[in-house]
């Protein structure tokens, strides 16, 4: 799979893990990365420390960049502003995976979430993508929130990719400073799971769902009005986590 990734790497470290996994995955050729959600130049600098693929800050991203990459799929693991622009320009590849949305309210980082960050940041863009993006696969927060690595998993990833250590530490410190309870401040590997689902790893269940998006970016299931798309509905957490840790380890070996 020739894959383009659109990411807000540089905040939540799960984006960094997803980039490392994509670079190491034997079925993925990472043909490009773009960044989104403010300060896209800084985010692009972070991405360049993780992968060798071309990296484009979102403010400089053009439809030509993505078309020229001849991608088979695009994975969106940030707010959907860039993806909506590419959609309007007719530049999206035939398959689009998105990490975002909530189908069932879920407690996450100290609060019950009914609107997930990526979808709520740009609701109009989210609506356009859900209604029109080709070959859409949605990996929602109420599934990905279960992807909490154990202490051993975390140590193994940092040992294989030391660049992750400061990112993990900064994330924990930021969550504690925000008053998030310690048991909810742990990293969740949302974006790496979305990658595994899009690539076709047998660690998730996928079902067709009829989806709509409201003005806040809230995702709803509506069989009468919604567009039917593929949705990740369940995950084998143990197998998925093992696969992510193995891919991070492989990324270290590939870089040597």
* More confident position, 181 or 73: 73
String of DSSP letters for 35-66: E-SS-HHHHHHHHHTT--S-EE-GGG--HHHH
24: Cα separation from own chain's centroid: 16
* 121 alpha carbon, distance to own chain's centre: 14
Which pLDDT value is given to residue 256? Answer: 46
pLDDT of 119 higher than 60: yes
The structure's pTM equals 0.96
Q: For 134-166, how does the pLDDT look when each residue is reduced to its tens digit (9 = 90+)?
A: 999 999 999 999 999 999 999 999 999 999 999
pLDDT exceeds cutoff 90 at 254: no
**pLDDT > 90? residue 206:** yes
Cα angle 243, 135, 70 (rounded to 5 degrees) comes to: 80
pLDDT bin (cut points 50, 70, 90) of residue 255 is low
* 8 A C-beta contact, residue 32 and residue 74: no
Query: Scanning the structure block, which residue is given the tokens 């310690």?
Result: 182
**Edge-first strand listing for the sheet containing 95-99:** 55-56, 29-35, 2-7, 73-77, 95-99, 136-139, 227-235, 204-213, 219-221
Query: pLDDT at residue 59 above 90?
Result: no
* Least-confidence region, from 112-116, 237-241, 242-246: 112-116
């Amino acid at each position: 799979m020739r894959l383009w990734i659109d990411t807000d790497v540089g905040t939540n470290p799960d984006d960094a893990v997803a980039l490392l996994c994509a670079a190491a995955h034997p079925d993925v050729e990472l043909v490009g990365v773009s960044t989104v959600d403010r300060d896209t130049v800084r985010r692009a600098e972070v991405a360049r420390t993780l992968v060798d693929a071309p990296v484009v800050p979102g403010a400089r991203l053009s439809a030509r960049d993505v078309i020229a990459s001849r991608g088979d799929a695009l994975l969106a693991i940030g707010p959907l502003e860039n993806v909506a622009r590419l959609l309007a320009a007719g530049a999206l590849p035939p398959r689009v995976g998105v990490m975002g949305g909530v189908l069932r309210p879920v407690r996450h980082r100290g609060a019950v979430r009914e609107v997930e960050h990526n979808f709520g940041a740009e609701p109009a863009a989210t609506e356009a993508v859900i209604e029109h993006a080709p070959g859409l696969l949605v990996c929602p927060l109420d599934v990905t929130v279960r992807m909490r690595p154990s202490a051993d998993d975390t140590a193994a990833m940092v040992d294989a990719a030391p660049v992750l250590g400061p990112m993990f530490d900064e994330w924990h410190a930021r969550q504690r400073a925000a008053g998030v309870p310690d048991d909810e401040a742990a990293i969740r590997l949302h974006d790496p799971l979305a990658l595994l689902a899009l690539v076709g790893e047998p660690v998730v269940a996928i079902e067709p769902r009829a989806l709509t998006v409201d003005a806040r970016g809230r995702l709803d299931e509506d069989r009468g009005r919604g567009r039917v798309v593929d949705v990740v509905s369940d995950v084998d957490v143990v197998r998925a986590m093992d696969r992510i840790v193995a891919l991070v380890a492989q990324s270290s070996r590939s870089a040597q």
